[in-house]
Structure 1
Amino acid sequence: MNLADLSKTLDLLLKDQYQVENRIMLTAEVYKQGEKAATYIALNDFNINRCGASRVIGLKVGINGSTIDCYRADGVIVCTPTGSTGYNLSAGGPIINPTCKNFVITPICPHSLTARSIVLAKEDVVTVEVEQIRSNIKEEAIISFDGREGLSIVPGDQVKIYKSQEVTPFIKATEVSFVQILKEKLL
């Protein structure tokens, strides 16, 4: 919403002429030595990024218990449709309509010609593990969610990410379409 529409939008809100759009959220559980160490909930995204030295890290990514790839990358993004127009878009990931219930995995600067984003179903569970790819360097990553830092992750730790039971309600008071918003903000 822009400033010019503020008066009209406030009038619609006061007249109860609006819709509530529930946006999905993601939950991440961090396991250290097999024990749950932390649980986070995010509206936009979870990022698992390398720490320290400017080298790629190894990330083993799985979906529903099956390994799909072992990325050599700066990290990986797991985002909701709401978060798909942020860091995910900057990393080359797809834009997802925010009313959809699926989510996305996008590798960050992968050292590969074939690594691409994957759009997932709402029932899918993503696992991410840091791999020890160099014997002389301690591999380490950090998980962040919606711009806030969480825990350090090392080989042996596991992160499970899935659609949360929680939702975030958005109030929609105008009939502006998702495509129109994209045109105004991104083009």
Structure 2
Amino acid sequence: MSVVDRETMERLAALIRTIPDFPKPGIAFRDITTLLLDAQGLALAVDRMAAAIDGPIDLVAGIEARGFVFAPALALRLNAGVLLIRKDGKLPGATIAEDYALEYGTDRIAMHADACAPGARVLLVDDLIATGGTARAAVRLIRKAGAVCEQAAFVIDLPDLGGAAALESDGMTVRSLVEFPGH
């Protein structure tokens, strides 16, 4: 569900570059690096995401890698800490992990086993929600740790791919700033 007015959505959408046929033919890749280059656009995105969150929040969980860009900025606005959700094998120390399905095969994400206390209120953040596989695995991982994860925020939603709807079916409230139809 987009949480911004039409003018704001159009302004942000204009800052997101579309790269056709990447990473494979038929895919229209939504590249946020052009949004990140624009200080006012980045501030607008972070401010609008923060304003849409029902608080209080203890931790903002950013999914590797582009979620790491937005998680600290949102955490500062929400007076929360930052929880890193990384690809398995990237974190030192004891971790817990969760597998998820890819188009062909599986992947695994992890977080530190002691990263969040049971009952901590965690907001999940990433740049984009497509099919929802990684985001859903992150929610399962956070909940496995005993934390409460009921909200997710994304800059971009690709609603035709169903990820936001899948997260909502998992009991999540999903917010996004920009929606792009198609893939």
Range of TM-score over shorter length? under 0.3
| Greater fraction of residues in helix | 2
Larger radius of gyration: 1
| Greater fraction of residues in strand | 1
Q: Which has the higher contact order (CA 8 A, sep 6+)?
A: 1
Give the TM-score normalised by the residue count of structure 1.
0.24
